Amino acid sequence: AAGETATPAVSPAEAAPAEGEPAPTDIAPTAAITPAEDAASHRDALPTGSTEDAPARAGIVPATTSPHRRGCQGEAGEIVGYWYAGATAPGAAGDTITVPRDVNVRADYPDRHNGYDARAPVRCTLAKGDRITLAADPILVPGDRYWVPLVATGDTSSSTSTP
């Protein structure tokens, strides 16, 4: 439309990594987009049956709430799962830390034994601000990223701490 500035194209290699969990490593290279495909997928193209008078959306909201359990519990000493910490280890075994953001606690961490799959099933979530004591050192995985094992205390009154 007149007066609008085109959004510059950015290749995946130039894009900044998103905060949070890593992207899957098995992404295939994308093919070049032809001008006709580019025009057909342009951001301000209207969906079929829409009019230009349709109200603008404020944002995208999920249709359902997360099926994952908030807070993590288990039998004392049980490994509940692993959460992605990023390029810096949040501490060492015995350190009490504050969880820096909402995190998914997954059934496994990516490594050779599972084909470096970073998308293991989510067991539960920890909320930003939760205080936990690390029961083990974070695990450095290929790609120089850390995953933190979450070990249950067995204390049902505290769903987010580890021994």
Domain annotation covers residue 108: yes
What pLDDT is recorded for position 114?
93
Question: What would the mean pLDDT of 9-14 be, rounded to a whole number?
Answer: 44
The mean of the pLDDT values for the chain is 71
Cα gap 147→84, rounded to integer Å: 5
Q: Which range has the worst mean pLDDT, 5-14, 73-82, 150-159?
A: 5-14
Neighbours of 113 (CB within 10 A): 9
Q: How many domains does the chain have?
A: 1
Which one has a higher pLDDT value, 24 or 107? 107
Domain annotation covers residue 6: no
Domain annotation covers residue 2: no
Domain annotation covers residue 14: no
Question: What would the mean pLDDT of 4-10 be, rounded to a whole number?
Answer: 49
pLDDT digits (tens, 9 = 90+) for 50-83: 444 444 445 544 433 444 556 788 899 999 999 9
Quick one: pLDDT band at residue 46, thresholds 50, 70, 90?
Answer: very low
Which of 133, 147, 122, 132 lies closest to 70 in space, CA to CA?
122
10 Å CB burial of residue 123 (0-12, 13-18, 19+) is buried
Domain holding 132, by residue range, is 21-163
The CA-to-CA distance between both ends of the chain, in Å, stands at 59
Domain annotation covers residue 52: yes
Domain annotation covers residue 9: no
Domain annotation covers residue 125: yes
**What is the pTM (predicted TM-score) of this model?**
0.56
What pLDDT is recorded for position 48?
52
* Residue listed under structure tokens 């830390």: 97
Domain annotation covers residue 138: yes
